[in-house]
């Protein structure tokens, strides 16, 4: 029995591991990965299937395998797959060291949160499997803690390990580790300096995180961060080449100041260049993509490489734009959709119009041609070639500066629900157990209790009217309250049914805008 059996790590979806995302990155660098729709995918350390099950549901013609050491979590994963009637996924409870993959070939191998948390022989075996079992054009995704960023965090881990070493029960270890954090925080209040600032920031972050995260990230027997160049060298020993990072923004020299960029540009060795960037940024975590040696990687990006890709805006407008001004805007301020403290700015009439069109279409992901066509409608006074040239150049930069994400996937979520709307299967299932569910794109969507209640009836069997009738039953039982202007609506009110109808329609709209509805 492992600590993952006694205190399971929450098993969520990770969009950065999705074959649609990995395939897009490989195509940008000139490779020809297998289409996710028909791929063979292996996830090592799949836990209870929170990441791989949504992928299997999303790509019914592809084949998926999940491997994890925890028998308890594999049992849960099998139950989920059975409930969702997924026939294209298999789960195995075994150690990667013991399991024989034979001559199976996988187009995508995913190992998220495994490499740094296992002993050296398991790390070697993981890279060996990638080297031996990747298909010719296959991609391996491996995430791990890195140095130098983890040097300061190692001090905090050592503190917690030292204090909790005499407790065998995982829950008690976590409690004592939290007591240690509080003790250190309380007794450093009068101190000043960089050491205090570093500890304060990390302790504050850890205090708000779950027990399972604290246990598995900081209190496991093994947590060995490494320098990137060390990881790349070990991968090379197994016939693997570093392609890039799942976080493309981290690779872009233009995100550093001009002096740093010009100096690093002189380094031709990509691994050395990346290592120097890690030194500069004090990086603590990497999501590296590996491919078989000998593939023709080309990091000089061209417009042709963008064919088939779809673009996701990561920023939204800080302030609404007057619709009468569309096509005239020369500058817009943006704010990150996930982190309000991250700001951005777009300048130039053409690309401002393009960004606004991408946001108007969201949550649909547009192709480059669709962005150009939409921009042309807004800028009727400009010729197509001028618009294409400007939009393409800016989109290429946006991929690497973090303004846009990319996927290779042409199936869109549903924005206009059918008569009997249907939610994405894994989201429907998980909403009965937790507040965070995966959407069509493997993104995590946080639902309120009310939204979770409504979503269970969005199962393709109920009309909006029938969903409203179901909600009435919950209201009658005191399990749900419908309010208007902050006041509960009485069931005897003349417009009671209209409120119910409008509420359900609004909820369906929220689900659609969160990419939770499917055809």
Q: Which residues contact 127 (CB under 8 A, 6 or more apart)?
A: 234, 235, 237, 238, 240
Q: Strand 40-44 vs strand 63-68: parallel, antiparallel, or unpaired?
A: parallel
Burial class (CB in 10 A: 0-12, 13-18, 19+), 456: middle
CA pair distance 480, 450, nearest whole angstrom:
7
Q: Count H helices, E strands: the chain?
A: 19, 19
Given strand 134-145, what is the order of strands in its sheet?
A: 89-93, 63-68, 40-44, 106-111, 134-145, 285-292, 240-245
pTM, two decimal places: 0.90
Name the burial class of residue 488, with classes exposed (0-12), middle (13-18) and buried (19+) by CB atoms within 10 angstroms of its CB: exposed
3-state secondary structure of 321: coil
At 6 the pLDDT is 54
Phi, psi (rounded to 5 degrees) for 207: -65, -25
176: enclosing H helix or E strand:
helix 170-186
Distance CA 185, CA 204 (A): 9
Q: Look at residue 386 in the predicted model and tell me its pLDDT.
A: 95
pLDDT for the residue 300: 84
List per-residue pLDDT tens for the chain, 519 residues long.
555 555 556 678 999 999 999 999 999 999 999 999 999 999 999 999 999 999 999 999 999 999 999 999 999 999 999 999 999 999 999 999 999 998 899 999 999 999 999 999 999 999 999 999 999 999 999 999 999 988 877 888 887 777 788 777 777 888 877 878 777 777 777 777 777 777 777 777 777 777 777 776 777 777 889 999 999 999 999 999 999 999 988 887 766 777 877 887 887 888 999 999 999 889 999 999 999 998 989 988 888 999 999 999 999 999 988 877 788 889 999 999 888 888 989 999 999 999 999 999 999 999 999 999 999 999 988 999 999 999 999 999 999 888 999 999 988 889 988 899 999 999 999 999 999 999 999 999 999 999 999 999 999 999 999 999 999 888 888 888 877 777 777 777 778 888 889 999 999 999 999 999 998
In DSSP terms, 67 is beta-bridged to 44, 92
**Whether 176 contacts 165, CB under 8 Å:** no
The tokens describing 366, both together, are 């547009």
Phi, psi (deg, nearest 5) at residue 163: -75, -30
Residue 249 DSSP symbol: G
Contact 404, 366 (CB under 8 A): no
Q: Which two tokens stand for residue 83?
A: 């409930």
Sheet-wide strand order for 343-347: 315-317, 331-336, 343-347
DSSP 8-state class, residue 35: P
d(CA 429, CA 437): 9
Rounded CA-CA distance 447/431 in Å is 8
By DSSP bridging, strand 310-313 and strand 404-407 are antiparallel
Residues in the chain: 519
pLDDT for residue 95? 94
* Phi, psi dihedrals of residue 161, rounded to the nearest 5°: -65, -45
Show the tokens assigned to 40: 């063979």
The whole-number pLDDT of residue 5 equals 57
User: Which residues 6+ apart lie within 8 Å of 324 measured at CB?
Assistant: none
């Amino acid at each position: 029995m492992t600590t993952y059996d006694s205190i399971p790590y929450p098993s969520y979806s990770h969009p950065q591991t999705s074959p649609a995302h990995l395939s897009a990155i490989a195509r940008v660098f000139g490779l020809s990965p297998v289409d996710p729709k028909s791929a063979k995918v292996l996830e090592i350390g799949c836990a209870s299937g929170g990441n791989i099950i949504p992928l299997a549901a999303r790509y019914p013609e592809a084949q998926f395998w999940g491997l994890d050491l925890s028998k308890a979590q594999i049992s849960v994963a099998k139950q989920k797959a059975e409930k969702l009637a997924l026939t294209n996924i298999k789960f195995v409870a075994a150690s990667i060291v013991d399991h024989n993959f034979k001559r199976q070939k996988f187009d995508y191998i995913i190992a998220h949160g495994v490499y740094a948390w296992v002993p050296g022989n398991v790390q070697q075996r993981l890279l060996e499997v990638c080297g031996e079992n990747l298909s010719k054009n296959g991609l391996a995704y491996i995430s791990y803690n890195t140095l130098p960023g983890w040097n300061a965090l190692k001090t905090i881990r050592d503190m917690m390990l030292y204090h909790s070493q005499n407790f065998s029960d995982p829950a008690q270890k976590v409690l004592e580790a939290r007591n240690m954090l509080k003790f250190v925080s309380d007794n450093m209040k009068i101190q000043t300096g960089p050491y205090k600032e570093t500890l304060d920031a990390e302790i504050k972050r850890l205090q708000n995180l779950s027990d399972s995260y604290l246990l598995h990230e900081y209190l496991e027997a093994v947590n060995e961060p490494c320098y990137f160049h060390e990881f790349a060298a070990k991968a090379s020993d197994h016939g693997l080449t570093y392609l890039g990072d799942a976080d493309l923004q981290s690779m872009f020299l233009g995100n550093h100041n001009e002096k740093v960029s010009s100096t690093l540009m002189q380094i031709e060795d990509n691994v050395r260049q990346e290592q120097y960037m890690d030194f500069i940024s004090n990086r603590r975590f990497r999501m590296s993509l590996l491919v078989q040696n000998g593939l023709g990687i080309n990091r000089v990006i061209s417009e042709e490489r963008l064919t088939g890709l779809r673009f996701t805006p990561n920023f939204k407008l800080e302030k609404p734009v007057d619709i009468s001004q569309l096509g005239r805007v020369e500058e817009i301020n943006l704010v990150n959709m996930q982190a309000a403290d991250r700001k951005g700015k777009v300048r130039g009439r053409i690309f401002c119009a393009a960004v606004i069109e991408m946001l108007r279409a969201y949550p649909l992901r547009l192709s480059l041609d669709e962005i150009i066509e939409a921009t042309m409608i807004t800028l009727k006074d400009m010729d197509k070639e001028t618009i294409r040239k400007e939009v393409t150049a800016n989109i290429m930069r946006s991929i690497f500066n973090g303004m846009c994400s990319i996927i290779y996937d042409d199936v869109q979520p549903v924005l206009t629900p059918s008569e009997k709307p249907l939610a994405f299967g894994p989201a429907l299932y998980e909403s009965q157990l937790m507040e965070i569910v995966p959407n069509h794109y493997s993104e995590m969507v946080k639902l309120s209790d009310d939204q979770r209640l409504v979503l269970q009836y969005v199962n393709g069997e109920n009309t909006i009217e029938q969903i409203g009738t179901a909600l009435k039953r919950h209201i009658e039982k005191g399990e749900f309250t419908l309010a208007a202007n902050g006041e509960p609506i009485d069931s005897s009110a003349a417009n009671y049914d209209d409120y119910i109808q409008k509420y359900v329609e609004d909820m369906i709209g929220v689900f659609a805008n969160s990419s939770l509805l499917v055809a």
